[in-house]
Amino acid sequence: MEIRPEFLSLVLACALVTAVPRVLPLVLLSRFALPGWLADWLRFVPVAVLAALTAIEVLMPGGKTLVLHTPSLAGIAAAFAVAVATRSLLGTVAAGVALYWLLA
């Protein structure tokens, strides 16, 4: 199989554009000691992003109007209950997806 040079350069450019924004902050920030308040604040970023993405899907499943999407809410409620009760990531995901799948 022959790979055209322009296709190979496109794949390598895409890899570079994907890798640089992920690696550069890690390399730069690993050389400094972050203040305690900043490290504490950064711990909440993944939770906040996940909550924002979940809220968008639950409240606006089509992205057009604000509606209450019942299967999504039920799946989130089940996942939250399992997470609190068991602290198991696999059980949490399985419960949320299973209930959503049953109701959708």
Q: Is residue 96 part of a domain?
A: no
Counted domains in the chain: 1
Q: Is residue 12 part of a domain?
A: yes
> Rounded to whole angstroms, how far apart are CA atoms 21 and 27?
11
Q: Is residue 44 part of a domain?
A: no
Contacting residues for 81 by C-beta, under 8 A, at least 6 apart: 95
pLDDT tens digits, the chain, 104 residues: what are they? 788 999 999 999 999 999 999 999 889 888 888 899 988 998 888 888 888 877 777 776 665 655 566 787 888 889 889 988 998 889 998 998 999 899 87
- Domain span at residue 3 reads 1-32
Q: Three-class SS of residue 39?
A: helix
Q: Is residue 63 part of a domain?
A: no
Which residue from 99, 56, 103, 95 is spatially nearest to 79, judged by alpha carbons?
95
Residue type, 93: V
Q: Is residue 77 part of a domain?
A: no
Q: Is residue 17 part of a domain?
A: yes
Q: Is residue 92 part of a domain?
A: no
Q: Three-class SS of residue 35?
A: coil
96 CB-contact burial (10 Å; exposed 0-12 / middle 13-18 / buried 19+): buried
The radius of gyration computed from the CA coordinates of the chain, to the nearest angstrom, equals 20
Q: Is residue 13 part of a domain?
A: yes
Q: Three-class SS of residue 83?
A: helix
